[in-house]
């Protein structure tokens, strides 16, 4: 049986928001798979801000996507042919499937293709039980070490990671302040349990934060960087933990590095810690996170929502939704 | 017996480097001391960058010095009269004696006036066994957790804190790179054991650092902030620890906040930690540090040098020496 794969390859390095013309959507007839390989039919792609960073020619925690290569992306698919004993036809797998309709892989080099039990709908699993949920879980609990009664501030709070952080912080007895853009996202965050919300698109965070965070900030889970980070550093408490998870405000564009916070000194005055982390380091022991998250979902304690675009041809514009703030919840694309 | 006290009071808030006219040197006849008080004849004053910060009208870890108050400063003096059972005439005491020739205090509110056994010359004790030594000890060992073979970078390395950090890091088996200004300071740091030195006044740190730190930086003990911090963040290793001890490059002048590092993102890529700390938190358990430091000095393993100015009238200009880099070692003033 001949299978046509439609795939987006990188044609030139984007500046700022990506354009369709930075990539090329091509069709190829797939070869027969070799011993040890599996053929996956991709079902859903996951979009995360870090993917934009991989398109820059800058060394990072993963090598940059090279010109001519398929664009790297997480996602879920189903094994439709297997010459690898670890995978059966019909298995649902999670891994770096890429912006393409099909994917052939040896799937043995590392842990990047995991077989997933189908406990929940695929979009739900790609959201809260994917890397974003694991990021939220370990970042907040292991590094932030939230104590009941502490104030936790989350930026990018309506995003896939932020919204899980908000809710886990509430489950741990914290007072939670969420920053997000637009009334619709803020209303949803209130429903999801945030004690206070700040709509950065319709109010001045610099003025609002001190009014709302009267007891200061004990933990700041930062998904945005930039000006908001600087503002928050002026309101942290002694022994505060600032967790750097992302910097969406930079656009993940290597050519436009924003000025850093001018008040890093407050880390000294407040004996505070600022820590960066990557979910990759936690994946090998993600089981505990996935069990807890699954039980919270089944008990109705963890709300989630997915923004599902459709059609492989819409990959580039779907990535941009993360940076324009158009995404309502975890950004996915159904192939 | 009538005693005249000469003291510097704050007249107006300085901008940038201090001027004599920001203060007023006045003479007063001291009153008789009350029950519970002691009278101290000040012998040596200690000058530290943080003192400049106390002159700004900005909330900090200690209240700002108020207009009309004696300028706050650490130092050592001798008890010449005591109506407090905890102190005997002749005791050498360490505490916030201020820019003045004498000091009357109840000395009971807190631990700020400690009786010091005269094991070593007073300038030596005010240097490596004073707050700067304790800062170096706990900052490097407790927060930095240096492992043998790791690369430790120290800025402001010829200063009172930095030079102790350099030497303790060597004692712990680390590879140590020191940044200081001028050939004389750099030569001294080589003598004191630094493996490599970078003279920021006569070379380009941004260009030199990657050539010298070929294995990257595991621990950065930052006494300067600013551009050098940004440069270092581009060369940290995975799990690096960045210890923020001070920011001399800001001049500790509230009116001139420099831009922060534009590459805080590398804390994420490198899963690194940036932590601020204050020696105040470690003073209650400083005994271990003082014992270790004293034994290293007696064994000849810890070199130190003091820059001793003389005369109470020179207090303001002595403070400035820290910011112009004129000080050669721990800045003291003999009264």
What is the distance between the alpha carbons of residues A318 and A321, in angstroms, rounded to a whole number? 5
Contact B275 A270 (CB under 8 A): no
B96 touches chain A (CB under 8 A): no
B214 touches chain A (CB under 8 A): no
Q: How confident is the model at residue B249 (pLDDT cuts 50, 70, 90)?
A: low
A61: closest chain B residue by CA: B269
Q: What is the DSSP letter of A99?
A: S
Residues of B in contact with A271 (CB under 8 A): 275-278, 281
Give the tokens for residue B208.
């030199």
Q: How confident is the model at residue A234 (pLDDT cuts 50, 70, 90)?
A: very high
- pLDDT, one tens digit per residue, over B178-227 is 999 999 999 999 999 999 999 999 999 999 999 999 999 999 999 988 89
What is the distance between the alpha carbons of residues A170 and A150, in angstroms, rounded to a whole number? 10
User: What pLDDT score does A329 carry?
Assistant: 86
Does the structure show a pLDDT above 70 at B3?
yes
Range scoring the smallest mean pLDDT among A19-23, A49-53, B138-142, B208-212: A49-53
Angle between helices B131-138 and B160-171 (to 10 degrees): 40
Q: What is the mean pLDDT of residues B98-124?
A: 84
Contact B244 A260 (CB under 8 A): no
- pLDDT, one tens digit per residue, over A64-93 is 999 999 999 999 999 999 999 999 999 999
Residues of A in contact with B269 (CB under 8 A): 60-61, 276, 278
CB atoms within 10 A of CB A72: 18
Q: Is the dihedral of CA A106, A108, A113, A116 positive or negative?
A: positive
More confident residue, B106 or A67: A67
Q: Is the dihedral of CA B18, B21, B27, B30 positive or negative?
A: negative
Question: How far does A228 lie from chain B, in Å, by closest CA?
Answer: 13
Contact A278 B268 (CB under 8 A): yes
Contact A276 B269 (CB under 8 A): yes
- pLDDT, one tens digit per residue, over A163-177 is 999 999 999 999 999
CB atoms within 10 A of CB B232: 25
Give the tokens for residue B60.
């900090």
Q: Which residues pair with B244 in a beta bridge?
A: B222, B276
Sort strands B217-222 and B151-154 into parallel, antiparallel or unpaired. parallel
**Does residue A255 contact residue B256 with C-beta atoms inside 8 Å?**
no
What is the distance between the alpha carbons of residues A77 and A39, in angstroms, rounded to a whole number? 10
Q: How confident is the model at residue A158 (pLDDT cuts 50, 70, 90)?
A: very high
DSSP H helices in chain B: 50-54, 122-127, 131-138, 160-171, 183-191, 205-212, 226-233, 265-269, 287-298, 315-324
The domain covering B131-280 belongs, at the CATH homologous superfamily level, to NAD(P)-binding Rossmann-like Domain (3.40.50.720)
Phi, psi at A231, each rounded to 5°: -60, -45
Does the structure show a pLDDT above 90 at B280?
no
Sort strands A217-222 and A236-244 into parallel, antiparallel or unpaired. parallel
- pLDDT, one tens digit per residue, over B84-100 is 999 999 999 999 999 99
Of B244, B250, B264, the CB nearest to A225: B264
Share of chain A above pLDDT 90, in %: 77
Question: How far does B299 lie from chain A, in Å, by closest CA?
Answer: 33
Q: Which residues pair with B180 in a beta bridge?
A: B199
User: What pLDDT score does B213 carry?
Assistant: 97
Does the structure show a pLDDT above 70 at B254?
no
| 3-state SS, one letter per residue, for A155-197 | CCCCCHHHHHHHHHHHHCCCEEEEEECCHHHHHHHHHCCCCEE
Give the tokens for residue A114.
């995991």
* Spatial CB neighbours of A37, under 8 Å, sequence gap ≥ 6: A83, A84, A104, A105, A106, A107
Start and end residues for every CATH 3.90.180.10 domain found in chain A: 4-127+304-334
Q: How confident is the model at residue B253 (pLDDT cuts 50, 70, 90)?
A: low
The domain made up of B4-127+305-334 is a member of CATH 3.30.70.260: no
Does the structure show a pLDDT above 60 at A143?
yes
What is the distance between the alpha carbons of residues A169 and A146, in angstroms, rounded to a whole number? 7
Question: How far does B113 lie from chain A, in Å, by closest CA?
Answer: 22
Does the structure show a pLDDT above 70 at B45?
yes
User: What pLDDT score does A256 carry?
Assistant: 66
User: What pLDDT score does A330 carry?
Assistant: 92
In which residue are the tokens 């630094």 written?
A: B194
Summary mean pLDDT of chain A: 92
Contact A271 B263 (CB under 8 A): no
Helix/strand/coil for B92:
strand
Give the tokens for residue B243.
């210890």
Contact A262 B257 (CB under 8 A): yes
Contact B262 A264 (CB under 8 A): no
B302 touches chain A (CB under 8 A): no
Residues of B in contact with A269 (CB under 8 A): 60-61, 276, 278
- pLDDT, one tens digit per residue, over A31-48 is 999 999 999 999 999 999
Contact A260 B60 (CB under 8 A): no
Question: How far does A248 lie from chain B, in Å, by closest CA?
Answer: 11
pTM: 0.88
Fold adopted by A4-127+304-334? Quinone Oxidoreductase; Chain A, domain 1 (3.90.180)
Q: What is the mean pLDDT of residues B276-294?
A: 89
Q: What is the mean pLDDT of residues B163-170?
A: 97
Interface of A with B in 248-277 (CB under 8 A): 250, 257-277
Phi-psi region of A225 (alpha: psi -120 to 50; beta: other; left: phi over 0): left
What does B162-212 look like in DSSP terms, one character per residue? HHHHHHHHHHTT-EEEEEESSHHHHHHHHHTT-SEEEETTTS-HHHHHHHH
Contact B260 A258 (CB under 8 A): no
Helix/strand/coil for B281:
helix
Q: What is the mean pLDDT of residues A204-208?
A: 96
Contact A258 B259 (CB under 8 A): no
- pLDDT, one tens digit per residue, over A265-278 is 899 999 999 999 99
More confident residue, B274 or A298: B274
Range scoring the smallest mean pLDDT among A300-314, B55-69, B107-121, B299-313: B107-121
Start and end residues for every CATH 3.40.50.720 domain found in chain B: 131-280
Does the structure show a pLDDT above 90 at B230?
yes
Does the structure show a pLDDT above 80 at A145?
yes
- pLDDT, one tens digit per residue, over A100-126 is 999 999 866 555 688 888 888 999 999
Does the structure show a pLDDT above 90 at B157?
yes
User: What pLDDT score does A258 carry?
Assistant: 74
User: What ipTM was predicted for this assembly?
Assistant: 0.86
User: What pLDDT score does A114 carry?
Assistant: 83
Contact A271 B264 (CB under 8 A): no
B278 touches chain A (CB under 8 A): yes
More confident residue, A309 or B62: A309
What does B99-134 look like in DSSP terms, one character per residue? SBSEEEE---SSSSSEE----S-HHHHHHTTSHHHH
Q: Is the dihedral of CA A191, A193, A199, A200 positive or negative?
A: negative
């Amino acid at each position: 049986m001949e299978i046509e794969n439609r795939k987006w390859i990188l044609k030139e390095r984007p500046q700022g928001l990506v354009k369709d013309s930075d990539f090329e959507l091509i069709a190829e007839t797939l070869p027969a798979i070799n011993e040890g390989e599996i053929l996956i039919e991709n079902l859903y792609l996951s979009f995360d801000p870090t993917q934009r960073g991989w398109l820059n020619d800058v060394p990072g925690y993963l090598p940059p996507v090279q010109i001519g290569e398929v664009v790297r992306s997480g996602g879920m698919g189903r094994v439709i042919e297997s010459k690898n004993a670890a995978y059966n036809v019909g298995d649902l797998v999670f891994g770096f499937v890429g912006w393409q309709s099909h994917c052939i892989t040896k799937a043995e080099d590392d842990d990047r293709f995991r077989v997933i039990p189908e406990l929940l709908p695929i979009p739900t699993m790609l959201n809260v039980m994917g890397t974003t949920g694991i990021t939220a879980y370990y970042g907040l609990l292991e590094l932030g070490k939230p104590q009941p009664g502490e104030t936790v501030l989350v930026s990018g709070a309506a995003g896939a990671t932020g919204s899980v952080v908000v809710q886990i912080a509430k489950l741990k007895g914290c007072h939670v302040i969420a920053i997000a853009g637009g009334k619709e996202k803020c209303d949803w965050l209130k429903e999801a349990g945030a004690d206070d919300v700040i709509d950065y698109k319709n109010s001045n965070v610099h003025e609002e934060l001190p009014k709302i965070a009267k007891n200061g900030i004990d933990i700041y889970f930062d998904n945005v960087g930039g000006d908001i980070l600087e503002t928050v550093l002026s309101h942290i408490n002694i022994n505060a933990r600032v967790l750097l998870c992302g910097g969406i405000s930079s656009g993940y564009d290597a050519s436009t590095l924003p000025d850093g916070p001018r008040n890093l000194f407050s880390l000294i005055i407040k004996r505070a810690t600022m820590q960066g982390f990557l979910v990759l380091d936690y994946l090998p022991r993600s089981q505990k996170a996935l069990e807890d998250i699954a039980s919270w979902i089944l008990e109705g304690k963890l709300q989630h929502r997915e923004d599902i675009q459709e059609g492989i041809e819409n990959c580039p514009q779907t990535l941009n939704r993360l940076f324009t703030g158009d995404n309502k919840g975890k950004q996915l694309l159904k192939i």
